[in-house]
Amino acid sequence: MRTFISADKFFLKSMVKGPGYLEIVGEKFGEYTSELPEEEVTLIDYSGKWIAPGLVDTHIHGYMNHDVMDNDAEGIKVMSDALLSCGVTSFLPTTLTSSKELLRDVAETIGRVHKDVTGAKIQGIYFEGPFFTEEYKGAQNPSYFGDPDIDTFHEWQEASGGIIKKIALAPERKGVEEFVKQVTDEGVVVSLGHSNGTLEDASKAVEAGASVFVHAFNGMRGLNHREPGMVGALLSLHDVFSELICDGHHVHPAAAEVLMEKAGHDHVALITDCMMAGGMPDGNYILGEFPVVVENGTARLQEGNLAGSILKLKEAIKNVVDWGLATPEQAVMMASLVPAVSCKIDDVCGMIKKGRAADFIVLNSDMTLEATYLDGIKRFDASK
């Protein structure tokens, strides 16, 4: 017997349709239709609800008291399962600046277990660093900073089994253009951040192939009328994507609005930058090698600087709608298709499409999460 989902709206790649029906064929999406076939079917009724693609978090360090840098396979699995409650069905476990040896070991661990997780799917690894500069180090340890080294990167990539999808660096470091050209030729996305770089520095890196800016406005030289800096670069350069943390603490809604208007919603990727305290109560935690205090909705180093976030991606899409910065359709796109496209993983996630894995979420009209489905099976139910 064929199975269909009924709902008021379906957020498809190029448009919103509904009311209507979406067929689920085993673990895959079937066709969307406005009418049911004239035969007996199994109907999953979400009347009054909206169906959207599963969210894709392409910058996340930890969740539920586990951190990627713990180098713990079981912790990665806990993160994967717990992220379903955030509406996330695909993610890139994200490293922090650390020793060459630990980064290699972490890459190897994720590479070994990435197909074994049973929750949100690991679609690759994001190396945030270690090729940064100290002025905007954030919660990155500057003792490990250095210039990009292709041999070292290849060691990490080999250890991972070839699943490092993105690496972040500061464009003012030596040898950036050669490194960017090499890794982008190898299919790896380069993002720019934790940087005191100028507009010229960023422009050269983008010309070489870099295409993403790390958590826009944060960890980078700000906009000045005489030197546009990194913020000026992400606002003015073409064909680049910007990560954006919409928790109300990292970026003022007015600044987020400027970015969305200038770059376009289709070039802004909502991310969490979530650390291990996500989903946990307030208290003391660790991010990389630094103590972090979590309270009042923020994660901060002891000196007061923001250190990642405790944001859930389902909250980010609600926030941008509640703030009047995006329509529900745009908000969903910025947390599913755009991050997938920006990291070149849109061939496996980020959209509802016939033949793709039936990874999707059910939203209420106020943008709260009702349920998360993975491979056509309901894995999270907000009512339980």
Give the residue numbers annotated as catalytic, written as ranges: 273
What's the rounded Cα separation, in Å, for the pair 180 and 168?
Answer: 10
CA distance to 85, 107, 270, 314, per residue, from 240 (Å): 30, 26, 14, 24
Name the packing angle between helices 176-185 and 199-208 (round to 10°). 30
Q: Are residues 100 and 141 in contact, defined by beta-carbon separation less than 8 angstroms?
A: no
DSSP 274: B
Which DSSP letter does residue 116 get?
A: T
| Residue 5, beta-bridge partner list | 22, 44
Residue 256 CA to its chain's centroid (Å) = 16
DSSP bridge partners of 294: 283, 299
**Strand, coil or helix: 185:** helix
The verdict on whether omega for the bond into residue 253 sits within 30 degrees of 0, i.e. cis, is no
> Cα angle vertex 301, ends 227, 149, to 5°?
60
End-to-end CA distance of the chain: 28
- Spatial contact of 261 and 326, defined as CB atoms under 8 Å apart: no
